[in-house]
Amino acid sequence: MSKVLSGLASLAIFVTVPALAEEAAHRQLGPHVHGQGTLDIAIDGKKIEMELVSPGMDIVGFEHVASTDDQKAAVEKAKAKLADVLTVFKLPAAAKCKAEAANVENRKETHKPGEKDDDDDDKPGAPQHSEFHATYTISCEAPENVTGLETVYFTNFAGAQLLNVNITSPKGQTQAQMTRDKPTVDLTGVM
């Protein structure tokens, strides 16, 4: 019995490891998961750099090229909301932060080699993915007071369910998640 179990266990390991590697490659190249975005936060002294990547589905509810006036307006409105970084991602007032730069793009995701990529690709409704990609530079006069972050991202963007948060500071790296139910991240001890 135990031999069978350990046999199964090693089989499971054998199967799982390549699957994980494949999943990692898939994440870099292939379609994202709708509902899930990524927020990278790098804190260094008074400077905070943030990078947000979100599926178009999460932000505007579609990923094809905007064709109607309504769709184009929705994309522009979303970009404007995302550009206002300190409204979307609130830092403590005591930290006295201000946005130095914000850049928001709506990018078409590159398809994997071999994936369907025919002439219909640019037509509205064609199966493809797009993402909103935002980069921010923030400076804080009192970075020691950056003890947390609160977001209205989920209130603003109806399709968003989860943000995977990666935090890098001189003290090291840590991960967290923000969700509709918990739109906050604790940054105590990160500075």
Binding site for Zn ion (CB under 5 A): 55, 63, 129
Q: Decide whether 63 or 97 has the Cβ nearer to Zn ion.
A: 63
Kindly state the smallest distance separating residue 60's Cβ from Zn ion, in Å: 11
- Count of residues in the chain: 191
Task: Select from 23, 55, 30, 21 the least CA-distant residue to 115.
Answer: 30
Bridge partners of 151, per DSSP, are 89
Give the nearest distance from C-beta 151 to Zn ion in angstroms.
21
Contact residues for 77 (Cβ-Cβ < 8 A; gap 6+): none
Tokens 């090229």 belong to 65
Structure tokens at 18: 């390549």
Q: How far is the CB of 111 from Zn ion (least distance, A)?
A: 11
Collapsed DSSP state (helix, strand, coil) of residue 121: helix
Q: Is 7 or 127 the residue whose CB approaches Zn ion more closely?
A: 127
Q: How far is the CB of 72 from Zn ion (least distance, A)?
A: 19
Q: Which two tokens stand for residue 114?
A: 């071999």
Q: Which is nearer to Zn ion, 79 or 129 (CB)?
A: 129
Closest residue to Zn ion, based on beta-carbon distance: 129
Q: Which is nearer to Zn ion, 106 or 169 (CB)?
A: 106
Q: Least distance (Å) from Zn ion to the CB of residue 32?
A: 5
Closest CA to 183 of 145, 148, 154, 142: 154
